[in-house]
Structure 1
Amino acid sequence: MLCMAAIPHNATEAVLASTAMVVTEATFGRNVLAASLPVVVVFHSGSCAASRALVPIIRRIGPAFGGQLVVALVDVDAETMIADQYNVQAVPSLVVFQDGEPKLRLIGFAAEGLVQELFREAAGGCSTHMFWRPTEEAFEDAVLVPLLEDWRWQYTRQAACVLHGGRRSRRGRVDILVHSAEPDRPLTLFENKRLVLGQRDVQAAVSQAEGYAEALQAPSFVVAAPSGMWVYAMHGRFAA
């Protein structure tokens, strides 16, 4: 089982009091599939650092949604049949069940604000089967803005940019532009995506961000998504 171990520096591993219930193969049908409310099932493993960081967040958030949804914990090391049945290949994974069917899926560690956003959507009812993806604004508010403010970086959201190419110029907007005291001196920029599923998605975002960085003469750029961040210098990738 793959452990999605990328977690932020301030993630806690403290054990908190919980209203989340532990479910097993014997109780999964009754407590999850037959539940009248949506159920957020957290597939986790005690051997995975990202799981140990996420479970306390789930336990802390869960009580605020009492009466709207149910939170259930499945230990994949002990309940391999449940994990196999629902194709859980990495932990932590959050799967929202409604009317006995898996509806939404989130793989990997998520910041508290994103977990709250997922819970709100789950409580409102899910109509499709899909990988869950927050809005770009929700992702920025929950993950990127707190990081930038913690680092005391100055930034502008939705910064205007003029792209030159071909026979005419066109206008664009940079999701987050990080700059010095003067906004016209960019240090880096963020191109944010709701969902990145593979290298093709990353490369498409890189091409877009590179155009912005060239137009603004920024020395680097970042492609960011709930699943990770990719950092590039204008003359080659220097971190991941």
Structure 2
Amino acid sequence: MMFTAENFDTEVLQAPGTVLVDFYAEWCGPCKMMAPLVERMAEKYAGQIKIGKLNVDEAMEISDRYHVRNIPTFIFFQNGQPAATYVGGMSAADLEEKIKAYI
């Protein structure tokens, strides 16, 4: 799922349960490396946790609101509130462990 400035409030802040937002940019090498992993996790855990991406260059106000200074940054939101933030690339096992903690 792609989050945008237009749908962020509805899809993330007003969503029940847990949402994982991957803050990324097209020009970011580590972000490109994480993209297939994030997509796999979104498919694997569909229905248990909403996982999507937000392009920081297209949604600077949202990135600033959550103090995203480095990318990739992963923020878990629970019932609209930031619950945990992780900065930088990570292994599949690390990302999956973090996701499992919220489902």
Q: Offset at 1:102?
A: 0.3
Give the letter aligned to residue 91 of structure 1. I
Q: Deviations over 1:183-216 (max 9, x none)?
A: xxxxxxxxxxxxxxxxxxxxxxxxxxxxxxxxxx
Q: Which runs of 4+ in 1 moved over 2 A?
A: none
CA distance in 1, matches of 2:68, 2:99: 19
Q: Offset at 1:26?
A: 1.1
Q: Does 1:89 align with 2:74?
A: no
Q: Of 24, 34, 39, which aligns to 1:54?
A: 34
Q: Of 99, 109, 118, which aligns to 2:79?
A: 99
Look up the match of 1:34: 14
Larger Rg: 1
Look up the match of 1:120: 100
CA contact (8 A) 2:76 2:84 kept: yes
Q: Offset at 1:51?
A: 0.3
Match of 1:66, SS state, is coil
The RMSD of aligned alpha carbons is 0.8
Q: Offset at 1:41?
A: 0.3
Give the letter aligned to residue 39 of structure 2. R
CA distance in 2, matches of 1:62, 1:99: 18
Corresponding pairs, count: 103
CA distance in 1, matches of 2:5, 2:57: 12
Q: Deviations over 1:10-52 (max 9, x none)?
A: xxxxxxxxxxx11111100000001112000000011110000
What are the ranges of 5 or more consecutive residues in structure 1 without an aligned counterpart?
Answer: 1-20, 124-240
Give the letter aligned to residue 49 of structure 1. G
What are the ranges of 5 or more consecutive residues in structure 2 without an aligned counterpart?
Answer: none
Q: Of 11, 16, 24, which aligns to 2:4?
A: 24
CA distance in 2, matches of 1:79, 1:22: 12
Greater fraction of residues in strand: 1
CA contact (8 A) 2:16 2:80 kept: no
Give the letter aligned to residue 86 of structure 1. Y
Look up the match of 1:194: none
The TM-score, its normalising length taken from structure 1, stands at: 0.42
CA distance in 1, matches of 2:23, 2:6: 16
